[in-house]
Amino acid sequence: MTTMSIWRRSLWRYRVTTAGITLTLFGAATALDNPPTAVSVLAAVCGCAVSLLEIRANRRRARLVRFQSRDGDNYRDLSTRLGSLGPVVESAHDVGVVMTRESARLRDQPVRVELEGTPYRLPRELRAWSFDFLARRARVAAMYNGDILGLASDLPSDDEDVAVKLRPGRYFDFFCSNLLAPFDVWQTGRKLPLLQGRELILDQRGQLLPFGRSRLANTVGVSSLAFTTDGQLILVAQARDNVGSPGLIAPSGSGALEPRDVPQAGAALTIGDVVRRGAERELREECHIGAHEIGTSSIVGHGRWVSRGAMPEFCVVTLLDLTSDQVLDRAIRLVERAYVSEVLAVDLTPTSGWNPRKPLAMLPEEIRGSASWPLAFGLACLAQSVADESWPLRQELTRRLTQEETLPASGKPSRSPTAG
């Protein structure tokens, strides 16, 4: 699907070349038929010339454009502004922020959601570089151009009854907008970049752009922290070709919200319901779990992944009706092997030491450096939720986490720092 989609985009970008090839084929096909030979030869020559000129022009343009990654950009200059929104969460490679007030609102009461009919379209200034960026990155990444849902408005942070707007789009639009934001676009011979990625996420005052004013697709990221009946957290080691968090340890299930996650019926549609459905779908797909094996899920937080164009991210906590051994004994589904390399089960540190500003300290020490940003974000939201006595899963999750360290039936330790 990825190859075919890029091929279709290539046809549009090289439309003059396509027309030239058509002329060439016309000339060759009719050279010995009714039209005068001179006309056929002229059509073939013109077609070859037009095709060659456009191919050379596009190749020359592609060589002049460079996408310079800002790998060292940790956004520390924004720490004060981001800190006013909530805990700033850092992983080994990325940075983002937990939207504390919005997260509390999501846990406390439902937030209505509306679907927009008009899909997202890349703005002109991004469309100019989209094909070059996509073609270069797609060579080394496992992905497909599926349907996604993006956030087109901010979440309310108070009791105001405002509906959140979701907008349909395609994954390649997200790829060429949010995933372009960590890069600067340069052209040979120019002293200044053609496009600075930071301009896509910050306004003139250096504040994060609200979703209503953003030019990006802002695909809704959803993830789940799934806990087994013996109190272990299930994690997923992502494959190195995965666009999400290549080669890193991710939540139990993580991905993008899709139109199929929206219930077909129901006037009282909430963002919490949609996010839970999306997160549970990703969990079932990546960990090979059936719907009947999921006990209950509860949304725990909303944040913005600053390193990815400040895209929206949501996390839920899921209680499974399975032991860790039952999860780990299952083979990874064939269709998921391009994205998932291994499923793990780990113990978290005691809840008394959980700090939403130091979420990676909740993990076993040996995997902290390999944690993805969605995992760090989810743990920060989990720490906030456990401290909230009104959170509905608090009592049951605490019971699972504080149970004895051994399984009487097996006579062996049920939990180790890592398993699988």
What letter represents residue 195's amino acid?
Answer: L
> What confidence score (pLDDT) does residue 1 get?
53
> What confidence score (pLDDT) does residue 76 get?
85
Distance CA 185, CA 188 (A): 10
> What confidence score (pLDDT) does residue 273 get?
93
Is the Cα torsion angle 306, 311, 312, 317 positive or negative in sign? Answer: negative
Distance CA 92, CA 228 (A): 27
Which residue stretches of 32-188 are H helix? 37-64, 79-83, 100-108, 124-138, 171-175
Backbone angles phi, psi at 214, to 5 degrees: -75, 145
CB atoms within 10 A of CB 384: 23
Q: How far does Cα 399 stand from its chain's mean position?
A: 32
Distance CA 200, CA 208 (A): 9
Alpha-carbon distance values, 310 to 133, 197, 214 (Å): 19, 11, 10
> What confidence score (pLDDT) does residue 410 get?
39
Distance CA 178, CA 148 (A): 13
> What confidence score (pLDDT) does residue 412 get?
37
The tokens for 134 are 């996509």
The answer to whether residues 54 and 15 touch, using CB atoms and an 8 Å cutoff, is no
The single residue listed with the structure tokens 């010339």 is 49
Distance CA 148, CA 170 (A): 5
277-299 per-residue burial string, b: 16 or more CB within 10 A, e: under 16: bbbbbbbbbbbbbeeeebeebbb
> What confidence score (pLDDT) does residue 411 get?
37
> What confidence score (pLDDT) does residue 311 get?
97
| Helix or strand holding residue 316 (H, E) | strand 311-320
Q: Tell which residue, 301, 244, 255, 250, has the closest CA to residue 279.
A: 255
Distance CA 305, CA 158 (A): 22
> What confidence score (pLDDT) does residue 57 get?
65
User: Taking the chain (420 residues) in consecutive chunks of 10 residues, what is each chunk's mean pLDDT?
Assistant: 52 59 63 62 70 66 79 84 93 92 92 92 87 73 81 89 93 91 88 90 91 95 97 93 83 94 78 95 95 95 95 97 95 87 95 95 95 96 94 94 56 38
What letter represents residue 110's amino acid?
Answer: P
> What confidence score (pLDDT) does residue 240 get?
80
Q: How far does Cα 211 stand from its chain's mean position?
A: 16
Distance CA 54, CA 312 (A): 39
